[in-house]
Amino acid sequence: MDKSTLVNGNDMEALKIKFDGEKHQIEANTLINSLLHFTNIVQEANREISQDKRVEIKINATPKGSFLVDLAIATYPAVGTTTPMLFAKDAVTYVSTLIKTVTGLYNIHKFFNGEKPKAVESVDSSVRIENNNGDVTYFDNRVYNIYQNSKSIRHSLISEFETLDSDTKVTAFELLNEKDEALVNIPRNQFISLTTSETFVSPQEKDVIKTGILSIVTLSFEQKKKWELVYEGNKITAKMSEDFYQTIDKGEKFAKGDQLEAELEIRQEFDDTVNAYINKTYNIVKIIKHIPRAEQGGLFTKK
């Protein structure tokens, strides 16, 4: 029997992605990007669980006027491996484990809410985690380890929620099983918090504090929204400190083209190919001085 036919359509396990909203429509860019990030999370989770299996994700036909994405996930022996043939029961059991791992990754990302946990404790095969709100949840030890060790999965989760947050018509994100029971349910008001992951720093990452001048490109007065800025000739996105929003609440006005002298916390990652640390993410720790655009004329006057 050909390996590509060892698992047929009846041996696949269903999983549905639901994008809640007022209309039965979704922006094509949102749908495509979200599916790409979701697929990467599934594939990376599969590689973490098993090196000798490959996974296929297929999109079933969807009802007219619906943006409920019906998926079928199946597993096969990886090309070039000597793994024995997968029988239907074994294949479905493995896919079920994979789906539990993937939904666990979404739920642990939701639970951390973009922040470092208050406490982490191993308990048998589980991990007891207390977040900064004082909530306590037990997660499967494997899910925790995959989330902690896989930078690719955390990046895909962050990127997916950046995509969802940018589409104001999406009011929630859900993963459902074949019985339409919710395995993951994340409301829109939490999307912005999930666009960061300050939980783990790998040995190849470090945080540095620098002082510099930033020019405002785009701004948002909603806390946790990233601002677009120019720093040392490069466009960057950065989150502002909570103290900064107190300044805004007191009535100080900011506009495009204004400059900020600020302390930045820069997350850097070591790149083996160039033997150097590369800037990855930025957070504004402190605003030292605000220079309105109208007061900058003398800064560029030729001598």
Which domains can be identified in the chain, with CATH numbers? 6-195 (no CATH), 205-294 (2.40.50.140)
Helix (H) or strand (E) holding 41: helix 28-49
Instruction: Collect all residues with Cβ–Cβ distance below 8 Å to 11 and sequence separation of at least 6.
Output: 74, 88, 91, 92
Which pLDDT value is given to residue 149?
A: 83
Q: The tokens of 50 are what?
A: 């098993």
The pLDDT of residue 5 is 30
| Residue percentage of the chain with pLDDT more than 70 | 81
Residues 75-104 pLDDT 10s: 666 655 555 545 555 566 788 888 999 999
Reported as a pLDDT band with limits 50, 70 and 90, residue 303 is: very low
Structure tokens at 173: 């994100």
Which of 1-10, 48-57, 144-153, 169-178 has the lowest average pLDDT?
A: 1-10
Q: What is the pLDDT of residue 244?
A: 81
DSSP 298: G
Question: Confidence band (pLDDT; 50, 70, 90) for 65?
Answer: very low
Whether 270 shows a pLDDT value over 60: the answer reads: yes
Strands (E), the chain: 13-20, 53-59, 68-77, 119-123, 126-130, 136-140, 172-176, 182-187, 205-218, 226-231, 234-239, 259-271, 276-291
pLDDT at 139 over 90: yes
How many CB atoms sit inside 10 A of residue 30's CB?
A: 18
Q: Looking up tokens 């030292």, which residue turns up?
A: 288
Asked if 123 and 140 touch (Cβ cutoff 8 Å), the reply is no
Average pLDDT value for residue range 293-298: 69
Mean per-residue pLDDT of the chain: 81
How are strands ordered across the β-sheet holding 172-176?
A: 53-59, 68-77, 13-20, 172-176, 182-187
Quote the pLDDT of residue 81. 57
Helix (H) or strand (E) holding 104, with range, is helix 88-112
Give exposure, 248-271, as e/b (b: 16+ Cβ within 10 Å). eeeeeebeeebbbebebbbbbeee
Tokens 């008001």 belong to residue: 189
Quick check: 208 pLDDT over 50? yes
Q: Is 40 helix (H, G, I), strand (E, B) or coil?
A: helix
d(CA 67, CA 284): 37
